[in-house]
Amino acid sequence: MKSSLKDLSISLKKYFGFNSFKEPQEQIIQSLLNKNNVFVLMPTGGGKSLCYQLPALISEGTAIVVSPLIALMKNQVDAVRGISSNDGVAHVLNSSLNKTEVKKVKDDISMGITKLLYVAPESLTKEEYVDFFKTINISFFAIDEAHCISEWGHDFRPEYRNLRHIIEKIGNAPVIALTATATPKVQDDIQKTLGMTNAKVFKSSFNRPNLFYEIRPKVNPEKQIIKYIKENPGKSGIIYCLSRKKVEELAELLKVNGINALPYHAGLDAKSRALHQDKFLMEEVDVICATIAFGMGIDKPDVRFVFHYDIPKSLESYYQETGRAGRDGGEGHCIAFYDYKDIEKLEKFLAAKPVSEREIGMQLLQEVVGYAETSMSRRKYLLHYFGEEFDENHGLGSKMDDNSLNPKNMINVSEEMKQMLIIVEKTQE
Protein backbone atom coordinates (compact mmCIF):
# COMPACT_ATOMS: atom_id res chain seq x y z
CA MET A 1 0.00 0.00 0.00
CA LYS A 2 1.41 3.32 -1.05
CA SER A 3 0.43 6.33 1.05
CA SER A 4 0.69 9.91 -0.04
CA LEU A 5 2.52 12.22 2.30
CA LYS A 6 -0.77 13.90 3.12
CA ASP A 7 -2.27 10.57 4.24
CA LEU A 8 0.67 10.04 6.54
CA SER A 9 0.18 13.40 8.23
CA ILE A 10 -3.49 12.67 8.69
CA SER A 11 -2.72 9.28 10.25
CA LEU A 12 -0.12 10.92 12.48
CA LYS A 13 -2.73 13.30 13.81
CA LYS A 14 -5.42 10.64 14.02
CA TYR A 15 -3.45 7.99 15.89
CA PHE A 16 -0.86 9.98 17.82
CA GLY A 17 -2.28 13.49 18.01
CA PHE A 18 0.96 15.02 16.71
CA ASN A 19 0.89 17.85 14.19
CA SER A 20 4.16 17.14 12.46
CA PHE A 21 6.77 14.47 12.02
CA LYS A 22 10.17 14.76 13.58
CA GLU A 23 13.03 14.57 11.09
CA PRO A 24 13.30 12.09 9.36
CA GLN A 25 10.32 9.99 10.52
CA GLU A 26 8.27 10.66 7.43
CA GLN A 27 10.93 9.54 4.93
CA ILE A 28 11.59 6.44 7.04
CA ILE A 29 7.94 5.47 7.06
CA GLN A 30 7.56 6.12 3.35
CA SER A 31 10.59 4.05 2.61
CA LEU A 32 9.30 1.13 4.67
CA LEU A 33 5.86 1.32 3.06
CA ASN A 34 7.63 1.13 -0.30
CA LYS A 35 8.92 -2.28 0.82
CA ASN A 36 12.55 -1.28 1.38
CA ASN A 37 14.66 -2.66 4.15
CA VAL A 38 15.37 0.30 6.41
CA PHE A 39 18.08 1.01 8.92
CA VAL A 40 17.44 3.75 11.47
CA LEU A 41 20.06 5.35 13.68
CA MET A 42 18.51 7.93 15.90
CA PRO A 43 19.44 9.09 19.38
CA THR A 44 17.31 8.07 22.34
CA GLY A 45 14.16 10.17 22.47
CA GLY A 46 14.32 10.82 18.74
CA GLY A 47 11.02 9.05 18.11
CA LYS A 48 11.97 5.67 16.71
CA SER A 49 8.88 3.74 17.86
CA LEU A 50 6.58 5.81 15.71
CA CYS A 51 8.62 4.83 12.64
CA TYR A 52 7.20 1.33 12.85
CA GLN A 53 4.00 1.90 14.83
CA LEU A 54 2.44 4.28 12.34
CA PRO A 55 3.15 2.21 9.22
CA ALA A 56 1.95 -0.91 11.07
CA LEU A 57 -1.35 0.75 11.93
CA ILE A 58 -2.05 1.74 8.33
CA SER A 59 -0.80 -1.42 6.63
CA GLU A 60 -2.61 -4.66 5.96
CA GLY A 61 -1.43 -7.57 8.06
CA THR A 62 0.56 -7.66 11.26
CA ALA A 63 3.95 -6.11 11.95
CA ILE A 64 6.20 -8.26 14.07
CA VAL A 65 8.23 -6.19 16.50
CA VAL A 66 11.24 -7.74 18.19
CA SER A 67 12.26 -6.00 21.37
CA PRO A 68 14.59 -7.14 24.14
CA LEU A 69 12.74 -6.04 27.26
CA ILE A 70 9.39 -7.32 28.40
CA ALA A 71 8.74 -4.17 30.44
CA LEU A 72 9.33 -1.92 27.44
CA MET A 73 7.10 -4.08 25.27
CA LYS A 74 4.25 -3.84 27.76
CA ASN A 75 4.58 -0.04 27.86
CA GLN A 76 4.41 0.17 24.12
CA VAL A 77 1.46 -2.17 23.82
CA ASP A 78 -0.44 -0.14 26.41
CA ALA A 79 0.42 3.06 24.55
CA VAL A 80 -0.78 1.68 21.21
CA ARG A 81 -3.97 0.27 22.74
CA GLY A 82 -4.61 3.69 24.21
CA ILE A 83 -4.86 5.20 20.75
CA SER A 84 -7.12 2.56 19.26
CA SER A 85 -10.69 1.53 19.98
CA ASN A 86 -9.71 -2.13 19.84
CA ASP A 87 -7.52 -3.81 22.44
CA GLY A 88 -6.55 -6.48 19.92
CA VAL A 89 -4.66 -3.93 17.85
CA ALA A 90 -1.43 -4.71 19.73
CA HIS A 91 -0.33 -7.84 21.55
CA VAL A 92 2.73 -9.23 23.27
CA LEU A 93 3.67 -12.84 22.66
CA ASN A 94 5.99 -14.26 25.28
CA SER A 95 6.49 -17.13 27.63
CA SER A 96 4.33 -15.60 30.36
CA LEU A 97 1.07 -16.18 28.44
CA ASN A 98 -1.15 -19.18 29.17
CA LYS A 99 -2.84 -21.29 26.46
CA THR A 100 -6.06 -19.26 26.37
CA GLU A 101 -4.15 -16.02 26.09
CA VAL A 102 -2.01 -17.38 23.26
CA LYS A 103 -5.14 -18.51 21.44
CA LYS A 104 -6.69 -15.04 21.77
CA VAL A 105 -3.54 -13.47 20.32
CA LYS A 106 -3.50 -15.92 17.42
CA ASP A 107 -7.20 -15.40 16.71
CA ASP A 108 -6.85 -11.63 16.66
CA ILE A 109 -3.92 -11.91 14.28
CA SER A 110 -5.72 -14.35 11.99
CA MET A 111 -8.73 -12.05 11.86
CA GLY A 112 -6.51 -9.17 10.82
CA ILE A 113 -7.26 -7.11 13.92
CA THR A 114 -3.73 -7.11 15.30
CA LYS A 115 -1.46 -4.55 13.69
CA LEU A 116 1.50 -4.85 16.06
CA LEU A 117 2.77 -8.02 17.64
CA TYR A 118 5.64 -7.61 20.09
CA VAL A 119 7.81 -10.67 20.59
CA ALA A 120 10.92 -11.38 22.57
CA PRO A 121 13.66 -12.81 20.34
CA GLU A 122 13.61 -16.14 22.18
CA SER A 123 9.86 -16.53 21.54
CA LEU A 124 10.27 -15.79 17.86
CA THR A 125 12.51 -18.81 17.49
CA LYS A 126 9.95 -21.23 18.97
CA GLU A 127 8.92 -23.74 16.34
CA GLU A 128 5.17 -23.59 17.03
CA TYR A 129 5.23 -19.81 16.61
CA VAL A 130 7.34 -19.97 13.47
CA ASP A 131 4.82 -22.40 11.95
CA PHE A 132 2.01 -20.04 12.87
CA PHE A 133 3.78 -16.97 11.51
CA LYS A 134 4.21 -18.75 8.17
CA THR A 135 0.43 -18.82 7.80
CA ILE A 136 -0.30 -15.16 8.45
CA ASN A 137 0.03 -11.91 6.56
CA ILE A 138 3.05 -10.02 7.85
CA SER A 139 3.41 -6.35 6.92
CA PHE A 140 7.05 -6.07 8.04
CA PHE A 141 9.51 -6.99 10.76
CA ALA A 142 10.79 -4.32 13.12
CA ILE A 143 13.93 -5.04 15.12
CA ASP A 144 14.06 -2.49 17.93
CA GLU A 145 17.26 -1.94 19.93
CA ALA A 146 19.02 -3.66 17.03
CA HIS A 147 22.47 -3.08 18.55
CA CYS A 148 21.70 -6.11 20.77
CA ILE A 149 22.77 -8.14 17.73
CA SER A 150 26.34 -6.87 17.96
CA GLU A 151 29.06 -7.78 20.39
CA TRP A 152 30.31 -4.24 19.81
CA GLY A 153 27.08 -2.82 21.17
CA HIS A 154 26.58 -2.18 24.85
CA ASP A 155 23.85 -4.73 25.36
CA PHE A 156 24.72 -7.87 23.42
CA ARG A 157 22.01 -10.58 23.30
CA PRO A 158 23.05 -13.79 21.58
CA GLU A 159 19.44 -14.65 20.63
CA TYR A 160 19.39 -11.63 18.32
CA ARG A 161 21.92 -13.30 16.08
CA ASN A 162 19.37 -15.92 14.94
CA LEU A 163 16.88 -13.35 13.78
CA ARG A 164 17.86 -13.32 10.13
CA HIS A 165 17.53 -17.06 9.86
CA ILE A 166 14.07 -17.03 11.47
CA ILE A 167 12.84 -14.10 9.42
CA GLU A 168 13.92 -15.84 6.22
CA LYS A 169 12.14 -18.99 7.34
CA ILE A 170 8.91 -17.14 8.03
CA GLY A 171 8.76 -15.41 4.69
CA ASN A 172 9.80 -12.30 2.93
CA ALA A 173 8.65 -9.05 4.36
CA PRO A 174 10.70 -5.87 4.68
CA VAL A 175 12.80 -5.38 7.80
CA ILE A 176 13.29 -2.17 9.70
CA ALA A 177 16.12 -2.17 12.26
CA LEU A 178 16.35 0.63 14.79
CA THR A 179 18.98 1.63 17.30
CA ALA A 180 20.48 4.56 19.17
CA THR A 181 23.90 2.96 19.19
CA ALA A 182 25.74 4.53 16.39
CA THR A 183 29.34 3.49 16.01
CA PRO A 184 30.17 2.50 12.44
CA LYS A 185 31.27 -0.92 13.72
CA VAL A 186 27.91 -1.67 15.30
CA GLN A 187 26.04 -0.42 12.25
CA ASP A 188 28.09 -2.61 9.97
CA ASP A 189 27.60 -5.61 12.20
CA ILE A 190 23.82 -5.13 12.39
CA GLN A 191 23.40 -4.73 8.65
CA LYS A 192 25.54 -7.76 7.85
CA THR A 193 24.00 -10.00 10.49
CA LEU A 194 20.45 -9.10 9.47
CA GLY A 195 21.30 -9.46 5.78
CA MET A 196 20.30 -5.91 5.02
CA THR A 197 23.41 -4.33 3.54
CA ASN A 198 21.04 -3.04 0.85
CA ALA A 199 18.94 -1.14 3.40
CA LYS A 200 18.05 2.51 3.10
CA VAL A 201 19.98 4.13 5.93
CA PHE A 202 18.61 7.03 7.94
CA LYS A 203 21.05 8.49 10.37
CA SER A 204 20.28 11.49 12.55
CA SER A 205 22.94 13.59 14.17
CA PHE A 206 24.02 12.46 17.61
CA ASN A 207 25.10 15.91 18.64
CA ARG A 208 23.42 17.16 21.82
CA PRO A 209 24.38 20.84 21.72
CA ASN A 210 22.81 21.64 25.09
CA LEU A 211 25.00 19.19 26.99
CA PHE A 212 28.25 20.43 28.53
CA TYR A 213 30.97 17.76 28.73
CA GLU A 214 33.66 17.87 31.35
CA ILE A 215 36.34 15.56 32.72
CA ARG A 216 37.76 16.17 36.18
CA PRO A 217 40.69 14.48 37.89
CA LYS A 218 39.33 12.09 40.49
CA VAL A 219 40.58 13.94 43.53
CA ASN A 220 38.14 14.05 46.42
CA PRO A 221 35.20 13.34 44.12
CA GLU A 222 32.71 13.24 47.03
CA LYS A 223 33.70 16.75 48.02
CA GLN A 224 33.40 18.00 44.46
CA ILE A 225 29.97 16.41 44.06
CA ILE A 226 28.64 17.87 47.29
CA LYS A 227 29.98 21.30 46.38
CA TYR A 228 28.36 21.11 42.95
CA ILE A 229 24.98 20.08 44.31
CA LYS A 230 25.04 22.78 47.00
CA GLU A 231 25.79 25.34 44.31
CA ASN A 232 22.89 24.03 42.21
CA PRO A 233 20.09 23.61 44.73
CA GLY A 234 16.86 22.00 43.63
CA LYS A 235 18.26 20.67 40.36
CA SER A 236 17.71 17.05 39.36
CA GLY A 237 20.72 14.88 38.74
CA ILE A 238 22.00 11.35 38.42
CA ILE A 239 25.32 10.10 39.80
CA TYR A 240 26.54 6.88 38.24
CA CYS A 241 28.89 4.63 40.22
CA LEU A 242 30.37 1.31 39.20
CA SER A 243 29.48 -0.69 42.30
CA ARG A 244 26.34 -1.10 44.39
CA LYS A 245 28.40 -0.54 47.48
CA LYS A 246 29.61 2.85 46.26
CA VAL A 247 26.05 3.77 45.30
CA GLU A 248 24.87 3.06 48.85
CA GLU A 249 27.78 4.86 50.46
CA LEU A 250 27.48 7.92 48.32
CA ALA A 251 23.71 8.23 48.75
CA GLU A 252 24.24 7.97 52.50
CA LEU A 253 27.01 10.58 52.48
CA LEU A 254 24.87 13.00 50.45
CA LYS A 255 21.97 12.54 52.88
CA VAL A 256 24.24 13.24 55.83
CA ASN A 257 25.21 16.42 54.05
CA GLY A 258 21.61 17.53 53.78
CA ILE A 259 21.12 16.49 50.16
CA ASN A 260 17.93 14.79 49.14
CA ALA A 261 19.36 11.64 47.55
CA LEU A 262 18.40 7.97 47.10
CA PRO A 263 20.23 4.88 45.86
CA TYR A 264 19.22 2.72 42.90
CA HIS A 265 20.77 -0.57 41.87
CA ALA A 266 19.77 -4.12 40.93
CA GLY A 267 20.52 -5.36 44.45
CA LEU A 268 17.55 -3.48 45.89
CA ASP A 269 14.21 -5.28 45.91
CA ALA A 270 11.79 -4.44 43.11
CA LYS A 271 9.58 -2.41 45.43
CA SER A 272 12.36 -0.09 46.62
CA ARG A 273 13.63 0.32 43.09
CA ALA A 274 10.21 1.36 41.83
CA LEU A 275 9.74 3.65 44.82
CA HIS A 276 13.08 5.39 44.43
CA GLN A 277 12.59 5.82 40.72
CA ASP A 278 9.10 7.27 41.23
CA LYS A 279 10.34 9.69 43.87
CA PHE A 280 12.98 10.92 41.47
CA LEU A 281 10.48 11.27 38.63
CA MET A 282 7.98 13.06 40.92
CA GLU A 283 10.73 15.36 42.19
CA GLU A 284 10.42 14.30 45.79
CA VAL A 285 14.08 13.57 45.59
CA ASP A 286 16.71 15.61 43.74
CA VAL A 287 19.55 13.19 43.24
CA ILE A 288 19.69 9.52 42.43
CA CYS A 289 22.92 7.60 43.00
CA ALA A 290 22.82 4.62 40.70
CA THR A 291 24.55 1.83 38.91
CA ILE A 292 23.94 1.47 35.18
CA ALA A 293 20.79 -0.48 36.11
CA PHE A 294 19.12 2.92 36.28
CA GLY A 295 17.91 4.72 33.22
CA MET A 296 16.65 2.34 30.53
CA GLY A 297 13.38 3.81 29.33
CA ILE A 298 13.37 6.60 31.90
CA ASP A 299 12.09 9.81 30.46
CA LYS A 300 12.61 12.67 32.92
CA PRO A 301 12.98 15.76 30.78
CA ASP A 302 14.69 18.08 33.25
CA VAL A 303 17.70 16.13 34.51
CA ARG A 304 20.27 18.95 34.86
CA PHE A 305 23.44 17.02 35.64
CA VAL A 306 24.92 13.56 35.25
CA PHE A 307 28.03 12.70 37.21
CA HIS A 308 30.15 9.64 36.56
CA TYR A 309 31.84 8.93 39.84
CA ASP A 310 33.68 6.14 38.03
CA ILE A 311 34.67 6.37 34.40
CA PRO A 312 32.34 4.16 32.28
CA LYS A 313 33.59 1.16 30.34
CA SER A 314 32.78 2.49 26.89
CA LEU A 315 31.96 5.75 25.17
CA GLU A 316 28.68 4.18 24.07
CA SER A 317 27.64 3.80 27.67
CA TYR A 318 28.89 7.29 28.43
CA TYR A 319 26.85 8.77 25.61
CA GLN A 320 23.71 6.85 26.64
CA GLU A 321 24.03 7.73 30.30
CA THR A 322 24.85 11.41 29.81
CA GLY A 323 22.06 11.50 27.23
CA ARG A 324 19.58 11.39 30.09
CA ALA A 325 20.47 14.99 30.91
CA GLY A 326 18.73 17.93 29.26
CA ARG A 327 16.10 15.96 27.36
CA ASP A 328 13.93 19.09 27.42
CA GLY A 329 16.61 21.02 25.52
CA GLY A 330 17.63 22.92 28.65
CA GLU A 331 21.08 22.80 30.20
CA GLY A 332 22.70 19.50 31.05
CA HIS A 333 26.08 19.23 32.74
CA CYS A 334 27.96 15.97 32.23
CA ILE A 335 30.97 15.49 34.48
CA ALA A 336 33.08 12.35 34.67
CA PHE A 337 35.85 11.74 37.18
CA TYR A 338 38.92 10.21 35.69
CA ASP A 339 41.77 8.37 37.31
CA TYR A 340 43.84 5.91 35.31
CA LYS A 341 43.65 3.53 38.26
CA ASP A 342 39.96 3.05 37.47
CA ILE A 343 40.86 1.97 33.95
CA GLU A 344 43.22 -0.61 35.42
CA LYS A 345 40.41 -1.86 37.64
CA LEU A 346 38.16 -2.29 34.63
CA GLU A 347 40.95 -4.10 32.82
CA LYS A 348 41.17 -6.52 35.71
CA PHE A 349 37.46 -7.31 35.40
CA LEU A 350 37.99 -7.96 31.72
CA ALA A 351 40.86 -10.31 32.35
CA ALA A 352 38.37 -12.86 33.69
CA LYS A 353 36.27 -12.80 30.51
CA PRO A 354 36.53 -14.98 27.39
CA VAL A 355 39.12 -13.82 24.87
CA SER A 356 36.83 -12.20 22.29
CA GLU A 357 34.92 -10.30 24.91
CA ARG A 358 38.14 -9.21 26.56
CA GLU A 359 39.61 -7.89 23.32
CA ILE A 360 36.51 -5.91 22.50
CA GLY A 361 36.35 -4.62 26.07
CA MET A 362 39.96 -3.46 25.93
CA GLN A 363 39.46 -1.57 22.69
CA LEU A 364 36.36 0.14 24.06
CA LEU A 365 38.36 1.12 27.15
CA GLN A 366 41.13 2.60 25.04
CA GLU A 367 38.59 4.93 23.48
CA VAL A 368 37.46 5.99 26.94
CA VAL A 369 41.07 6.79 27.86
CA GLY A 370 41.45 8.73 24.63
CA TYR A 371 38.35 10.75 25.41
CA ALA A 372 39.38 11.45 28.99
CA GLU A 373 42.91 12.47 28.08
CA THR A 374 42.31 14.41 24.90
CA SER A 375 42.86 18.14 24.75
CA MET A 376 40.54 18.52 21.76
CA SER A 377 36.85 19.38 21.90
CA ARG A 378 35.17 16.54 23.80
CA ARG A 379 32.13 16.88 21.58
CA LYS A 380 34.31 16.47 18.50
CA TYR A 381 35.90 13.38 20.01
CA LEU A 382 32.55 11.79 20.93
CA LEU A 383 30.93 12.54 17.61
CA HIS A 384 33.95 11.30 15.71
CA TYR A 385 33.63 8.06 17.63
CA PHE A 386 30.07 7.82 16.30
CA GLY A 387 31.30 8.39 12.75
CA GLU A 388 30.18 12.00 12.64
CA GLU A 389 32.29 15.01 11.70
CA PHE A 390 32.03 18.04 13.95
CA ASP A 391 33.27 21.57 13.31
CA GLU A 392 34.68 22.58 16.69
CA ASN A 393 34.67 26.25 15.75
CA HIS A 394 31.20 26.69 14.36
CA GLY A 395 29.23 23.51 15.07
CA LEU A 396 26.24 23.62 17.42
CA GLY A 397 27.54 23.40 20.97
CA SER A 398 31.11 24.16 19.93
CA LYS A 399 32.07 25.86 23.17
CA MET A 400 30.20 23.44 25.40
CA ASP A 401 32.99 21.41 26.94
CA ASP A 402 35.90 22.00 29.29
CA ASN A 403 38.61 21.76 26.62
CA SER A 404 36.94 24.20 24.24
CA LEU A 405 36.10 26.63 27.01
CA ASN A 406 39.60 26.59 28.47
CA PRO A 407 42.02 25.38 25.85
CA LYS A 408 45.15 24.02 27.46
CA ASN A 409 47.37 27.12 27.39
CA MET A 410 51.03 27.23 26.44
CA ILE A 411 52.25 27.21 30.01
CA ASN A 412 50.38 23.98 30.67
CA VAL A 413 51.59 22.48 27.44
CA SER A 414 55.22 23.30 28.21
CA GLU A 415 54.63 21.92 31.69
CA GLU A 416 53.35 18.69 30.08
CA MET A 417 56.43 18.62 27.82
CA LYS A 418 58.70 19.00 30.81
CA GLN A 419 56.98 16.08 32.52
CA MET A 420 57.37 13.97 29.42
CA LEU A 421 61.08 14.80 29.19
CA ILE A 422 61.54 13.75 32.77
CA ILE A 423 59.83 10.44 32.01
CA VAL A 424 61.96 9.94 28.88
CA GLU A 425 65.14 10.69 30.81
CA LYS A 426 64.11 8.25 33.51
CA THR A 427 63.41 5.44 31.08
CA GLN A 428 66.79 6.05 29.47
CA GLU A 429 68.66 5.86 32.74
Which of residues 48 and 324 has its CB atom nearest to Mg ion in the complex?
Answer: 48
CB of 48 to ligand ADP, least distance (A): 3
Considering only the stretches 18-26, 88-96, 129-137, 403-411, report the one whose residues sit in contact with ligand ADP under the rule CB under 6 A.
18-26
Site string for ligand ADP, 40-79 (x = CB under 6 A): --x-xxxxxxx-----------------------------
CB of 45 to Mg ion, least distance (A): 8
Considering only the stretches 14-22, 152-160, 263-271, 350-358, report the one whose residues sit in contact with ligand ADP under the rule CB under 6 A.
14-22
Which of residues 73 and 262 has its CB atom nearest to Mg ion in the complex?
Answer: 73
The entry of ligand ADP, Mg ion, none that residue 312 binds, CB within 5 to 8 Å by partner kind: none
The entry of Mg ion, ligand ADP, none that residue 46 binds, CB within 5 to 8 Å by partner kind: ligand ADP
Site string for ligand ADP, 189-208 (x = CB under 6 A): --------------------
Going by C-alpha positions, the residue among 292, 289, 325, 290 that lies closest to residue 306 is: 325
Residues 6+ apart with CB under 8 A from 361: 313, 346, 350, 353
Q: Is the peptide bond before 263 cis (omega within 30 degrees of 0)?
A: no
Residues 6+ apart with CB under 8 A from 227: none
Which of 3, 8, 21, 80 touches ligand ADP (CB under 6 A)? Answer: 21
CB of 145 to ligand ADP, least distance (A): 9
DSSP H helical segments within 159-243, as ranges?
163-170, 184-193, 221-231
CB of 369 to ligand ADP, least distance (A): 29
CB of 154 to Mg ion, least distance (A): 14
- Residue 278's region, left for phi above 0, alpha for psi from -120 to 50, else beta, is alpha
The entry of Mg ion, ligand ADP, none that residue 47 binds, CB within 5 to 8 Å by partner kind: ligand ADP
Q: How, if at all, do strands 62-66 and 138-143 pair?
A: parallel
Considering only the stretches 19-27, 288-296, 377-385, 400-408, report the one whose residues sit in contact with ligand ADP under the rule CB under 6 A.
19-27
CB of 67 to ligand ADP, least distance (A): 10
Which of residues 44 and 377 has its CB atom nearest to ligand ADP in the complex?
Answer: 44
Inter-residue contact 295 to 245 (CB < 8 Å): no
Which of residues 46 and 68 has its CB atom nearest to ligand ADP in the complex?
Answer: 46
Going by C-alpha positions, the residue among 330, 332, 334 that lies closest to residue 371 is: 334
Sign of the dihedral defined by the CA atoms of residues 24, 25, 28, 29, in that order: negative
Cβ atoms < 10 Å from Cβ of 168: 10
CB of 66 to ligand ADP, least distance (A): 14
Which of residues 44 and 205 has its CB atom nearest to ligand ADP in the complex?
Answer: 44
CB of 71 to Mg ion, least distance (A): 13
Which of residues 124 and 180 has its CB atom nearest to Mg ion in the complex?
Answer: 180
CA separation, residue 185 to residues 131, 228, 367 (Å): 34, 37, 14
Q: How, if at all, do strands 332-338 and 303-308 pair?
A: parallel
Residues that bind Mg ion (CB under 5 A): 48
Residues 6+ apart with CB under 8 A from 107: none
The entry of Mg ion, ligand ADP, none that residue 59 binds, CB within 5 to 8 Å by partner kind: none
Going by C-alpha positions, the residue among 393, 30, 39 that lies closest to residue 200 is: 39
The entry of ligand ADP, Mg ion, none that residue 45 binds, CB within 5 to 8 Å by partner kind: ligand ADP
* Per-residue b or e along 10-25, where b marks 16 or more CB atoms closer than 10 Å to that residue's CB: ebbeebbeeeebeebb
- Give the CA count within 13 Å in the CB-facing half-sphere of 362: 12
Which of residues 25 and 403 has its CB atom nearest to ligand ADP in the complex?
Answer: 25
Interface ranges with ligand ADP (CB under 6 A): 18, 21-22, 25, 42, 44-50
